[in-house]
Amino acid sequence: MFLDAATLQYSNKALKNDLMYFQHVYDKTLAQASYFIGCQKAGVAAVIDPKRDIDTYLEIAKQNNMQITHVFETHIHADFLSGARELAAVTGAKMYLSDEGGEGWQYEFAHEGVKHGSQVMIGNLKIEVLHTPGHTPESISFLLTDTPASKEPVMLFTGDFVFVGDIGRPDLLEKAAGMVGTQDKGAEQMYQSINLFANLPEFIQVWPGHGAGSACGKALGAVPSTTVGYEKKRNWAFSYGTNKAGFIDFLLTDQPEPPKYFAKMKELNKVDRPLLTEVPTIKELSAAELKAATAKGIKLIDTRNKQDFEKGFIEGSINIQGNNSFATWMGWFVSYNEQFILVASTSQMDDLTRKLMRIGLDNIYGFVDAAKINELSDAPLLTSTMVNISDVKANTTAEIIDLRGVAEYNSGHIPGAKNVFVGTLLQNLDKVPKDKPVIIHCQGGDRAAIGYSLLVKEGYTNVSNYSPGMNEWIKEGQAVVS
């Protein structure tokens, strides 16, 4: 049966102090799951794969009169900056991290190393370590037994190994971090690891590290958990049997583009780095301070929704909306050694700062209030040039640029459109002409808004934005090619 994303509830209050406490903590912005598990009798708890804004776990512990004594990680993460070290520093908890994977895959700071077969007790709760390489060489999963309730394990925390309906991708190290040859080896290891998984009891609940929307797989399910038995029946990875070649081919085909920041996460999660144990308060800048900062080349990121940006934006600003994809796109276009300024409402700043913390983008120079945007620039605000579907069909001389990913483009695109993925647009400006009309689009407009602002910042004056994109194009029955 599926459990909801909150605390497990027990009807027998007399047994409460002998039972496990469990809470699923989900960051929908990165589709990332972490877990708080505790022994109520001993008053101790562990957190698995914590996010960096650790006050969430401290509050759960406080509300339940528990002390966080253990912190576990399933692997060296690529998609978010782990809060394991922050949580350990604040609580005094011990970190239990993988010592698998061989040379080059060891954490470079003090921790308690664990390997396949290692067992750790958290009060009455037993954690057994399974080495499940494939996504990464050091990847481990945690098999949990609630010893007062059963002698058999009840939960498996798989990290980026097995998801609901999918498995972890083994190509990230090669595509995001440039480790040539690692994807083929990883695919081989993943084939072996899923065979290990398939031999576990089918009733075991599976709690993965990510849900739908994560770039760590290509078809992740939206429900928070599953079971070993369900995945053996419904997950594509278990349908290939002994056909290892077919399994590997499907696993490596059509994986989404890994965000640019993934390589930096691999580095920061492995090395000794500065800690940030509280969510910082960001300074609001005056118009004069904004002018001085942008004159020095500090990037201005406008986090307003795309419709507001279209109506008026400061020259040189980049529109990255402050929605659930904010951190991911910031990781594409802001480097870790540069400062930046946000255009945002004051009420948004705590949320946006947390989102950026979670991928280690801490160099926020300040913010300016979006409500005051008309007062912030000496020059008139710019407006976006927008076109509709009739304009696209009528303009036979324009270069149409499809900003979606390669797999999306290959699945069906506007006839004659050229594919330039928005994440790599700045590295492919030679594919966007300046001497003829250009119409850009994506699926539903968010990526096109980013692309439009980037091109205007780069001096393009010939670009129009077809914001409804492929959603409208297909809905209206227009021709597509693949």
Q: Is the residue at 95 inside a domain?
A: yes
Q: What are 367's two structure tokens? A: 């913010």
Does residue 199 fall inside a structural domain? Answer: yes
Do 137 and 201 lie in one domain? The reply is yes
State whether 192 and 304 are in the same domain. Answer: no
Cβ contacts of 211 within 8 Å, gap of 6 or more: 26, 31, 33, 163, 164, 220, 221, 222, 223, 224
Distance, C-alpha 446 to centroid of its chain: 17
CA distances from 297 to 291, 334, 340, 342, 361 (A): 10, 13, 9, 14, 18
Q: How far is CA 411 from CA 43, 259, 465, in A?
A: 53, 21, 22
Judge if 238 and 207 occupy the same domain.
yes
Residue 258 is predicted with a pLDDT of 87
Alpha helices (H) in 169-325, listed in sequence order: 172-177, 182-198, 228-234, 244-252, 262-268, 287-295, 306-311
Strand boundaries in 112-199, DSSP class E: 112-114, 119-122, 125-131, 140-146, 155-159
- Among 210, 238, 268, the domain-final residue is 268
- Rounded to an integer, what distance in angstroms lies between the CA atom of residue 363 and that of residue 348? 17
**Does residue 188 share a domain with residue 327?**
no
Asked if 91 and 196 sit in the same domain, the reply is yes
Domain membership of residue 70 (yes or no) is yes
Q: 321: closest CA among 308, 334, 303?
A: 303
CATH number where 454 lies: 3.40.250.10
The beta-carbon contacts of 477-481 under 8 Å, at least 24 apart in sequence, are: 478/389, 478/393, 478/414, 479/414, 479/415, 480/412, 480/413, 480/414, 480/415, 481/412, 481/413, 481/414, 481/415
473 phi, psi to nearest 5 deg: -55, -45
108 and 251, same structural domain? yes
Q: Is 265 helix (H, G, I), strand (E, B) or coil?
A: helix
Question: Which DSSP state fits 91?
Answer: H
Quote the number of domains for the chain: 3
Q: Is the dihedral of CA 222, 211, 173, 326 positive or negative?
A: positive
Asked whether residue 201 falls in the same domain as residue 343, the answer is no
In a domain, 293, yes or no: yes
Q: Is residue 277 part of a domain?
A: no
Q: Residue 227 is inside which H or E element, if any?
A: strand 226-227
- Rounded Cα distance between 392 and 399, Å, is 10
CATH number of the domain to which 173 belongs = 3.60.15.10
300 and 179 inside one domain: no
Answer with the one of 324, 352, 375 that is the final residue of a domain: 375
- Domain limit, last residue, from 375, 401, 419: 375
**380 found inside a domain:** no
Q: Is residue 408 part of a domain?
A: yes
Its domain, for residue 405, covers: 389-475
Residue 33 · residue 224 · CB < 8 Å: yes
- What was the pLDDT predicted at 9? 37
pLDDT tens for each residue of the chain, 482 residues long? 233 333 443 333 334 556 899 999 999 999 999 999 999 999 999 999 999 999 999 999 999 999 999 999 999 999 999 999 999 999 999 999 999 999 889 999 999 999 999 999 999 999 999 999 999 999 999 999 999 999 999 999 999 999 999 999 998 877 776 777 789 999 999 999 999 999 999 999 999 999 987 777 667 778 999 999 999 999 999 999 999 999 999 999 988 888 899 999 999 999 999 999 999 999 999 999 999 999 999 999 999 999 999 999 999 999 999 999 999 999 999 999 999 999 999 999 999 999 999 999 999 999 999 999 999 998 999 999 999 999 999 999 999 999 999 999 999 999 999 999 999 999 999 999 999 999 999 999 999 999 999 999 999 999 999 999 999 999 999 999 99
Same domain, 76 and 221: yes
- Residues 398, 262 share a domain: no
Same domain, 264 and 141: yes
For the chain, the C-alpha Rg in angstroms (whole number) is: 24
Same domain flag for 75 and 160: yes
The answer as to whether 1 is a domain residue is no
